[in-house]
């Protein structure tokens, strides 16, 4: 849209519809990962996500089945981020006339596999024609106490659940024009797992459920660790500090191996990587669930910082910005 | 999509996802106006609807505010058809970069007005870029006993709630290249109301609620009276008979006046017209709510027939088909 960033338009949406939060049944409106509604005695989490071809995905390196799987997990990941359990989904496909039926079928198959894996049945939907392919997935979940991105408090630990950076490494590998011809079997396997992480991410529903009663805040890492940490910091009006040594310590072996082949710093991939759909949460040290890795802390202030060797560098938009 | 009709692809969706109805919480899956879920002690109705520019709408005769209003009412109409009360909506816009911000703002304003009119707050959503404008609206409603299209029984009366044909007349007027220059004030007002019916339809929520405990089946008329009657007949495995004299008797004055100006049979417009979002329901005579107009009946058999002067003509795809 001409002359305005998406963020400004989301702000426009918030201004236009935000006042409706006053409605008794709407507990959380526009701005979090999903809306929270009070219906009967239950809290429902509700989210919608659209993937447009050539904007959010390209079929150069993805099969249509991958597109179905990936878009479905991406949508359900918003439910995971709030500690919710998926109930059901609606799927809405817009597809061009030129798209072969076999491709539509493959896409639907990918969605069906994802729906089964996540125990989130597709109960309705719509097929329309249009000039470009887009997949809109709406998911309903439930959670008695949904986790919000706005709940982080000074003194909280910063937790990572799931791996981060692999999907980015996989994508980087696929997009490299000249690939090294000689890589050993171990590196090949690592690269393969990175590509798979990008093609077939998994929404961390079990992790979200485990975090629900323990964490103060959570967000799923879809845009990148540093970008999503910034969203969490902003919503919580707090500062998020990532400790470089701790983050390095929890990077997966596959990421370290793949980044060496790619000639990129694994830490950079971890900070910029997003499409793995790992969860970032904050909470009191005593409540940290087993297996959630501490990678930093929350303090008073604003923004996201990387702490390394006693120095603090402010992180912006996924990269480094020397500051403070 | 090449070589397959949308209907066949919906059948594909049903085959792929249909088995999931077995899930305890899913009461009605793909195939009705909306899905029905059992969550906590409550039944939720859930629907999604996409309007794609140049497929479902053109901005030649609609302002962007109209597009926002109309697409929102069209989505909520599926809740009305099941006798539900809307709870909240999610809005998903895909818009091309070339679309001016003022146009996006106008579209959102139209949605906001519709949301207010229908007491159905927009609680979340998404903005994405794409090569064409599309508006996806997801609506959640509640209804203890949702009306389905499959409930019609032989012996039921056929009821119409709301007007039908006006939107079609309005669209026909707008699309006429040469318009009669001399029309009187009354005709002008009638035409104006038809155009307004097409641009600013209203989802008949109150009607749906009133029908809920009285009717056996209902559907909203979005594709056309005869087409949607056929959907109801098919889902109910019954025959729907529309009595021509009765239907003529309930046509609105505006439609009759406008159709005279247009030189078209008002009955044709009523049978083919859809975008008014009137409700078609069936139920026992003693239960007919005040104001619902009886336009026919349900009997054993299949298909939709028009009964006139003792003869039965089968209706297909909105027009006449001499048969029987």
pLDDT digits (tens, 9 = 90+) for A42-62: 788 989 888 999 888 888 899
Contacts of B125 in chain A (CB under 8 A): 13, 17, 30, 48
Poorest-pLDDT segment among A287-301, B42-56, B68-82, B206-220: B42-56
Residue B324 has pLDDT above 60, yes or no: no
Can you give the CATH number for the domain in which B183 is found?
Answer: 3.90.650.10
Digit-coded pLDDT (tens) for A255-288: 999 999 999 999 999 999 889 999 999 999 999 9
Closest residue of chain A to B131, computed from CA coordinates: A132
Average pLDDT rounded to a whole number, residues B143-164: 94
CA distance A145 to chain B (A): 15
CB contact under 8 A, A90 and B12: no
CA distance B148 to chain A (A): 14
Can you give the three-state secondary structure of B159-187, one letter per residue? EEECCCCHHHHHHHHHHCCCCCCCCCHHH
Q: Are strands A134-142 and A239-243 parallel, antiparallel or unpaired?
A: unpaired
Domains held by chain B: number: 2
Return d(Cα A99, Cα B12) in angstroms, integer: 15
Residue B4 has pLDDT above 50, yes or no: no
Contacts of A64 in chain B (CB under 8 A): none
**Which pair of tokens denotes residue A87?**
């109930």
B134 & B223 share domain = no
Which one of A38, A123, A126 makes the best mutation probe of the B interface by having the most chain B beta carbons within 10 Å? A123
| The model's pTM | 0.82
* Residue A267 domain flag: yes
Task: Using CB atoms within 10 Å of the CB of residue B27, give its burial: 0 to 12 exposed, 13 to 18 middle, 19+ buried.
Answer: middle
Beta pairing partners, A294: A159
A93 & A128 share domain = yes
**Which pair of tokens denotes residue A316?**
């912006």
A113 & A138 share domain = yes
Residue B90 has pLDDT above 50, yes or no: yes
CB contact under 8 A, B90 and A47: yes
Continuous segment of H or E residues that includes residue A315: strand A311-316
Distances (CA, A) of B163 to B218, B224, B307: 15, 12, 20
Return d(Cα A148, Cα A83) in angstroms, integer: 9
Eight-class DSSP state of A179: -
Please tell me the predicted confidence (pLDDT) of residue A3.
Answer: 38
Q: Which residue, B142, B174, B197, sits at the end of a domain? A: B142
* Residue A15 domain flag: no
B128 & B165 share domain = no
CB contact under 8 A, B124 and A47: yes
Q: Residue A306: which of A290, A293, A320 has the closest Cα?
A: A320
Taking phi over 0 as left and psi of -120 to 50 as alpha, with beta for the rest, A224 belongs to left
A316 & A167 share domain = yes
Rg (CA), chain B: 20
Please tell me the predicted confidence (pLDDT) of residue B281.
Answer: 98
Q: Which residues of chain A have pLDDT under 70?
A: 1-33, 40, 317-324
pLDDT tier at B201, thresholds 50, 70, 90 = very high
CB contact under 8 A, B39 and A39: yes
**Which pair of tokens denotes residue A230?**
């910034």
A162 & A126 share domain = no
A128 & A161 share domain = no
Q: Which residue, A142, A176, A204, sits at the end of a domain? A: A142
CB contact under 8 A, B13 and A91: yes
CB contact under 8 A, B48 and A136: yes
SS3 category, B1: coil
Which domain covers residue A129, as residue numbers? 32-142
Please tell me the predicted confidence (pLDDT) of residue A143.
Answer: 87
Residue B317 has pLDDT above 80, yes or no: no
SS3 category, A54: coil
A184 & A108 share domain = no
pLDDT tier at B184, thresholds 50, 70, 90 = very high
A109 & A214 share domain = no
Tokens 């963020």 belong to which residue?
A7
* Residue B247 domain flag: yes
Return d(Cα A252, Cα B279) in angstroms, integer: 58
């Amino acid at each position: 849209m001409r002359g305005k960033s998406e963020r400004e338009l989301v702000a426009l949406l918030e201004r236009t519809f935000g006042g409706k939060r006053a409605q008794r049944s709407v507990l959380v409106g526009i701005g979090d990962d999903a809306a929270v509604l009070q219906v009967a005695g239950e809290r429902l989490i509700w989210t919608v996500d659209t993937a447009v071809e050539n904007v959010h995905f390209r079929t150069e390196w993805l099969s249509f089945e991958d597109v179905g799987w990936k878009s479905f997990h991406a949508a359900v990941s918003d439910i995971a981020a709030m500690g919710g359990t998926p109930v059901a989904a609606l799927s809405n496909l817009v597809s061009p006339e030129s798209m072969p039926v076999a491709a539509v079928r493959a896409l639907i198959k990918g969605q069906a596999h994802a729906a089964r894996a996540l125990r989130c049945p597709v109960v309705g939907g719509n097929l329309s024609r249009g000039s470009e392919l887009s997949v809109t997935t709406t998911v309903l979940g439930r959670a008695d106490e949904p986790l919000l991105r706005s709940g982080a408090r000074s003194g909280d630990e910063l937790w990572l659940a799931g791996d981060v950076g692999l999907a980015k490494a996989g994508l980087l590998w696929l997009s490299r024009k000249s690939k090294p011809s000689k890589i050993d079997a171990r590196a090949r396997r690592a690269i393969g797992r990175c590509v798979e992480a990008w093609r077939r991410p998994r929404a961390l529903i079990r992790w979200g459920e485990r975090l629900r009663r323990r964490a103060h805040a959570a967000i799923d890492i879809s845009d990148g660790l540093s970008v999503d940490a910034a969203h969490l910091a902003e919503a919580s009006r707090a500062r998020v500090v990532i400790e470089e040594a701790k983050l390095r310590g929890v990077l997966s072996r596959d990421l370290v191996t793949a980044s060496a082949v790619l000639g990129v710093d694994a830490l950079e991939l971890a900070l910029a990587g997003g499409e793995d759909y790992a969860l970032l949460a904050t909470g009191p040290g005593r409540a940290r669930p087993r297996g959630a890795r501490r990678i930093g802390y929350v303090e008073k202030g604003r923004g996201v910082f990387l702490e390394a060797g006693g120095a603090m560098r402010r992180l912006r938009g996924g990269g480094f910005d020397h500051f403070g």
